[in-house]
């Protein structure tokens, strides 16, 4: 939608029209689509802050580069949004601020689009999927074609030196964007490089080997008589994470007691998962666990808190802390 707004803005600036599509219609669609995209962006912000997975707050959505989830790429999206809001406000006040001031501010539209594209590539969870690559490339081709048409069109009115400089900048920016996408978001390991928190990396499918759903979310064995999980533990745990397209399973072993096994299974992007703790093959307990930050659950009368982080070699490490559960 932002691509359509930019292209319509270019057509408006170039005063393009034909008998079937008069110029006032281009201006009207451009204006109304700009207001509509602000509504969709508001919905995007609200859903991002409501979803607890990434831990994005309203403050992170207003002040750029303040979040803990991929702060640079999230921040670029915030800057793009604020530029778009400034463009909308100044357009509504154009009669008051004057056409010259409005036009200078409107040049920011050329920065708004690439910032939004970088935000999409940097934070998007589906950027490596075929449909996302096709859509991104299509938007890039359309925008570059519109800018080139504006610069070299017979009625462009752009001076030759400015035309050459603008074409050079456009070409360099396009090459840089394609190079960034290939070396970054489309390359394996981008989630960690982009600044995804360790707690999400530990429970995400990025970099984890693909397995069948049955392995990703193992069903606990029938419970055998076993002692309750004791309170007062402060043990180191290590293990591995496996996943498929939707499910993630982390299996941990207690460093002090090798018979103590912990499994955390999460389906999709849910904020909760299934915690299973066993001792020597006998299930001590299964419980629903919060996975927003640490893995937290109540196992019988014992509160369980497990911090997790992904190690450079791809394994998972953390600490198991147990204490008497509060009523």
pLDDT in tens, 281-315: 888 888 898 887 788 888 878 889 998 888 888 78
Quickly state the pLDDT bin for 105 (edges 50, 70, 90). Answer: confident
Q: Is 172 found in the same domain as 140?
A: yes
8 A C-beta contact, residue 191 and residue 69? no
Indicate the pTM of the whole model.
Answer: 0.61
d(CA 296, CA 4): 46
Q: How many helices (H) and strands (E) does the chain have?
A: 12, 8
**Residue that finishes a domain, picked among 165, 193, 221:** 193
Q: Is 136 found in the same domain as 62?
A: yes
Q: Is 6 found in the same domain as 60?
A: yes
15 phi-psi bin (left φ>0, alpha ψ -120 to 50, beta other):
left
Q: Is 93 found in the same domain as 186?
A: yes
CA proximity to 269, closest of 61, 89, 56? 56
Q: Is 143 found in the same domain as 40?
A: yes
Q: Is 314 found in the same domain as 181?
A: no
Per-residue pLDDT reduced to its tens digit, 40-77 = 888 988 988 888 777 888 898 889 998 888 889 999 99
Q: Is 11 found in the same domain as 127?
A: yes
Look-up of token digits 């750029």: 64
d(CA 306, CA 297): 9
Q: Is 159 found in the same domain as 113?
A: yes
**Residue that finishes a domain, picked among 176, 193, 210:** 193
Q: Would you state the structure tokens that stand for residue 28, as one six-digit string?
A: 């009207």
Give all strands (DSSP E) within the chain, no chain letters: 234-243, 247-254, 260-267, 272-279, 282-290, 295-299, 302-310, 316-324
Domain count, the chain: 2
Q: Would you state the structure tokens that stand for residue 132, as one six-digit string?
A: 């996302």
Q: At what angle do helices 71-92 and 109-123 cross, to 10 degrees?
A: 150
**Residue that finishes a domain, picked among 159, 193, 227:** 193
Q: Is 246 found in the same domain as 142?
A: no
Find the domain containing 269 and state its range: 198-324
> According to the model, what pLDDT value does residue 124 have?
82
Q: Is 47 found in the same domain as 138?
A: yes
Q: Is 185 found in the same domain as 67?
A: yes
End-to-end Cα, the chain, rounded Å: 51
- Res 134 pLDDT > 90: yes
> According to the model, what pLDDT value does residue 79 have?
92
> According to the model, what pLDDT value does residue 212 have?
40
């Amino acid at each position: 939608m932002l691509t359509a707004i930019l292209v319509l803005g270019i057509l408006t600036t170039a005063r393009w029209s034909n008998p079937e599509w008069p110029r006032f219609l281009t201006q009207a669609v451009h204006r109304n689509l700009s207001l509509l995209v602000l509504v969709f962006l508001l919905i995007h912000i609200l859903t991002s802050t409501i979803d607890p997975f990434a831990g994005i707050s309203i403050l992170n959505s207003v002040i750029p580069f303040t979040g803990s989830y991929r702060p640079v790429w999230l921040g670029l999206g915030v800057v793009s949004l604020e530029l778009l809001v400034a463009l909308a406000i100044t357009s509504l006040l154009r009669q008051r601020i004057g056409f010259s001031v409005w036009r200078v501010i409107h040049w920011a539209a050329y920065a708004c689009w690439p910032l939004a594209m970088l935000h999409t590539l940097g934070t998007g969870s589906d950027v490596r999927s075929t449909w996302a690559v096709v859509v991104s490339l299509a938007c890039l081709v359309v925008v570059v074609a519109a800018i080139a048409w504006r610069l070299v069109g017979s009625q462009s009115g752009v001076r030759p030196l400015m035309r050459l400089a603008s074409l050079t900048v456009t070409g360099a920016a396009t090459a840089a964007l394609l190079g960034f996408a290939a070396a970054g978001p489309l390359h394996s390991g981008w989630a960690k490089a982009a600044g995804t928190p360790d707690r999400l990396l530990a429970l995400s499918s990025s970099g984890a080997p693909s397995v069948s759903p049955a392995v990703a979310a193992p069903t606990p064995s029938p419970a055998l008589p076993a002692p309750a999980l004791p309170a007062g533990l402060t043990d180191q745990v290590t293990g591995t994470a496996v996943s498929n397209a939707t499910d993630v399973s982390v299996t941990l072993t207690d460093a002090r007691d090798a018979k103590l096994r912990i499994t955390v299974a999460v389906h999709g992007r849910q904020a909760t998962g299934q915690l299973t703790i066993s001792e020597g093959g006998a299930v001590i307990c299964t419980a629903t666990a919060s996975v927003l930050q640490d893995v937290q659950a109540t196992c019988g009368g014992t509160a369980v808190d497990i911090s997790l982080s992904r190690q450079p070699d791809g394994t998972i490490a953390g600490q198991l802390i147990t204490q008497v559960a509060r009523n």
